[in-house]
Amino acid sequence: MRLQVFCEDRVGMTRELLDILTSQEIDLRGIEIDRIGIIYLNCPEVEFEQFSQLMSQIRQLDGVTDVRKIQFMPSEREHTELSALLQTLPDPFFTINLNGKVDFANQAAEQLMGHRSEDLFSENIQTLLGFNFSRWVDKNQAQKHSEIVVIAGLDYQMDIMPVYVSDEAPEPVLASALILLKSLSEAKMPIVMRTINGDSGFEHLIGHSSRFKHLLAQAKKLALLDAPLLIQGETGTGKEMLARACHQRSIHRDKPFLVVNCISMPDNAAETELFGCVESANEPAKKGIFEQAAGGTVFLYEIGEMSKHLQIKLLRFLQDGTFRRVGEEAEIKVSVRVICSTQKKLPELVAEGEFREDLYYRLNVLALVVPPLRERAADIVPLAELFLAQFAQELHQPKPMLSEELALALKQYAWPGNIRQLRNVLFRAMTQVEGAEMTCADVQLPENESSTVISEETLTGSLDEIMKRYESGILSNLYQSYPSTRKLAKRLGVSHTAVANKLREYGLSKRN
């Protein structure tokens, strides 16, 4: 039980209250004293008769005006209210003790980290978020600090705030720290905050397949080398994102990363855009992309579309880092790393005379090939989960779960538009979904008859097992467009009975 004693502020009052508890053989679990003349006592529950006698004795004390039974001690109420408030915060929230260990984590933090609160307690914050708490305390004198962190492929602004206690000490003393995580999307993130700590930008690249892991291992090595880099891959495979990650990991990370789209650049203005121009009667002097990016990286998107005239200019720049502004004879020298991407086969363009052979060999010193999504079947569901988490943040709605049927359908689809197509399809579905689960009915996949994937993940087992998986994938995808056994049999040129038997063998229905 907890008692609230209203009394005069006089010497000895607390001692007399304790004497009454002792005479009644009642343990005291806690005591709090308010400055306005209230004493709070925390005692174990007692029988009604003893309780009545206790209340009577306390009221008879000189200076006591009233005594009441209450539900919480002030510190308990304050702690309960604060805990409830923090639990309702939509953003993940941690409290950290001076050893850098978690003392408290709200529900949003539990969901983000994928752990229950009891598993998070006493976990080191450096292990969870990569934040060096000891260095912050020692080097930064525990001042408020903000930085961007990446958790499960999503961007968060991490605010670290010190908690100082003054009490009666001559100077405030650091007691603990608070960490608040606020989700950010690339579109909403201020440009000045886009510097990613941790693994230098590769945290955004999600995938579990061996092809993708091999690509990342290669990319992390080549990113450290100060030489031109050529990234090849189909449209929508994430070549620009990989280029950005390579820039973040390179020695140029603190300088600009500028993108030039070689497709949309008109030839008559392209040279000025890249190399700049001197002042003339019609227009002022202008710095080109290479000059603006001095010390940083220039990403030439779809280099295969560049005109032959610009190819010559680019080759010259790659040879010695010098160029001339349009209308100027003096040469300018800058240090810029060039990363190029293409979905075209450059050797074929060279053979056709559309791309300079010497430029191709200059660019192809370091090369990465991004595999299409259909060859990364193991990455499709993790990417889908990441995109749904991003959309849930942007649309301020709960993240739906992927049904097993939908996950299978996504893995079996060929994705001619690759990651970009997957993202767009899921965004459309996110705006339509009702309920906590996203199903095949929510997703519109364009008909693609070659949607079964043959990749290293699907080539396990015997030939008979591989062929059965392949046949099952074909039937599963075509059944979406030909939703009856007779239509499907006619499409495949086989008997209705043969198709019905196959569908039964593989357990296929219109739903999956």
Is residue 451's pLDDT more than 50?
no
Whole-number Cα distances in Å, 188 to 179, 193, 387: 21, 10, 16
Which pLDDT score, from 0 to 100, does residue 342 have?
93
Q: Which residues contact 395 (CB under 8 A, 6 or more apart)?
A: 430, 431
**Cβ atoms within 10 Å of 386's Cβ, excluding its own:** 18
Contact by Cβ (8 Å): 338, 243: no
Q: Which residues contact 100 (CB under 8 A, 6 or more apart)?
A: 124, 125, 126, 133, 134
Q: Which CATH number fits domain 89-193: 3.30.470.20, 3.40.640.10, 3.30.450.20, 3.40.50.300?
A: 3.30.450.20
158-168 per-position pLDDT tens digit: 889 888 887 66
Is residue 202's pLDDT more than 70?
yes
Which pLDDT score, from 0 to 100, does residue 369 have?
93
Is residue 448's pLDDT more than 70?
no
Question: In angstroms, rounded to a whole number, what is the distance separating the alpha carbons of residues 107 and 6?
Answer: 39
Tokens of 441: 């009915």
Q: Which residue from 83, 82, 5, 81 is spatially nearest to 43, judged by alpha carbons? A: 5
Question: In angstroms, rounded to a whole number, what is the distance separating the alpha carbons of residues 231 and 223?
Answer: 12
Q: Which residue from 114, 92, 95 is spatially nearest to 103, judged by alpha carbons? A: 95
Tokens 């705006």 appear where? Answer: 431
Which pLDDT score, from 0 to 100, does residue 471 have?
81
Rounded to an integer, the average pLDDT of 356-366 is 92
Which pLDDT score, from 0 to 100, does residue 187 have?
42
Is residue 388's pLDDT more than 80?
yes
Contact by Cβ (8 Å): 39, 7: yes
Query: Between β-strands 30-34 and 38-42, what pairing exists: parallel, antiparallel or unpaired?
Result: antiparallel
Question: In angstroms, rounded to a whole number, what is the distance separating the alpha carbons of residues 123 and 102?
Answer: 6
For the stretch 232-256, what's the b/e string if a residue is b when 16 or more beta carbons lie within 10 angstroms of its beta carbon? bbbebbbbbbbbbbbbbbbebbebe
pLDDT grade, residue 499 (50/70/90)? Answer: confident
Contact by Cβ (8 Å): 259, 240: yes
Which DSSP string corresponds to 356-421? Answer: -HHHHHHHTTEEEEPPPGGG-HHHHHHHHHHHHHHHHHHHTSPPPEEPHHHHHHHHHS--TTHHHH
pLDDT grade, residue 199 (50/70/90)? Answer: very low
Whole-number Cα distances in Å, 197 to 156, 243, 253, 312: 11, 17, 11, 38
Is residue 255's pLDDT more than 80?
yes
Of 442 and 472, the one with more pLDDT: 442
Rounded to an integer, the average pLDDT of 202-214 is 82
Rounded to an integer, the average pLDDT of 289-308 is 91
Q: Which residue from 273, 458, 304, 479 is spatially nearest to 380, judged by alpha carbons? A: 458
Q: Which CATH number fits domain 202-369: 3.60.40.10, 3.40.50.300, 3.40.50.2300, 3.90.1150.10?
A: 3.40.50.300
96-140 per-position pLDDT tens digit: 888 888 888 888 888 778 777 677 777 888 888 888 888 888 765
Strand partners, 155: 150, 184
Question: In angstroms, rounded to a whole number, what is the distance separating the alpha carbons of residues 329 and 344?
Answer: 35
Tokens of 163: 């908690």
Tokens 């991004």 appear where? Answer: 370
pLDDT grade, residue 76 (50/70/90)? Answer: confident
| pTM for this predicted structure | 0.57
Question: In angstroms, rounded to a whole number, what is the distance separating the alpha carbons of residues 18 and 134?
Answer: 44
Which pLDDT score, from 0 to 100, does residue 79 have?
76
Which pLDDT score, from 0 to 100, does residue 196 have?
38
Rounded to an integer, the average pLDDT of 81-98 is 80
Of 454 and 333, the one with more pLDDT: 333
Query: Between β-strands 102-105 and 64-70, what pairing exists: parallel, antiparallel or unpaired?
Result: unpaired
Is residue 271's pLDDT more than 60?
yes
Which pLDDT score, from 0 to 100, does residue 191 have?
36
Of 392 and 142, the one with more pLDDT: 392
Mean pLDDT of the chain: 82
- Tell me the CATH architecture of domain 2-76: 2-Layer Sandwich (3.30)
Rounded to an integer, the average pLDDT of 224-237 is 91
Is residue 352's pLDDT more than 50?
yes
Q: Which residues contact 493 (CB under 8 A, 6 or more apart)?
A: none
Element (H, E) at 501: helix 496-506
Q: Which residue from 400, 420, 65, 381 is spatially nearest to 238, judged by alpha carbons? A: 420
Of the ranges 176-180, 196-200, 276-280, which is most confident?
Answer: 176-180
Which pLDDT score, from 0 to 100, does residue 80 have?
76
22-58 per-position pLDDT tens digit: 888 888 888 888 877 788 888 888 888 888 888 888 8
Residue 358: φ, ψ to 5°: -65, -35
pLDDT grade, residue 425 (50/70/90)? Answer: very high
Is residue 296's pLDDT more than 80?
yes
Contact by Cβ (8 Å): 426, 412: no
Question: In angstroms, rounded to a whole number, what is the distance separating the alpha carbons of residues 370 and 304?
Answer: 16
Is residue 82's pLDDT more than 80?
no
**Cβ atoms within 10 Å of 425's Cβ, excluding its own:** 20
Q: Please count the residues of the chain.
A: 512
Q: Which residue from 105, 114, 1 is spatially nearest to 55, judged by alpha carbons? A: 1
Q: Which residue from 277, 279, 274, 304 is spatially nearest to 292, judged by alpha carbons? A: 274
Is residue 201's pLDDT more than 70?
no
pLDDT grade, residue 293 (50/70/90)? Answer: very high
Tokens 């408290």 appear where? Answer: 104
Residue 476: φ, ψ to 5°: -60, -45
Domain 373-442: CATH class, spelled out: mainly alpha
Query: Between β-strands 229-232 and 337-342, what pairing exists: parallel, antiparallel or unpaired?
Result: parallel
Q: What is the CA radius of gyration of the chain?
A: 34
Question: In angstroms, rounded to a whole number, what is the distance separating the alpha carbons of residues 247 and 453?
Answer: 32
The domains of the chain are located at 2-76, 89-193, 202-369, 373-442, 463-506
Of 200 and 416, the one with more pLDDT: 416
Q: Nearest 5 degrees, angle CA 29-CA 34-CA 36?
A: 150
Of 268 and 411, the one with more pLDDT: 411
Fold observed for domain 463-506? Arc Repressor Mutant, subunit A (1.10.10)
Question: In angstroms, rounded to a whole number, what is the distance separating the alpha carbons of residues 197 and 425?
Answer: 31
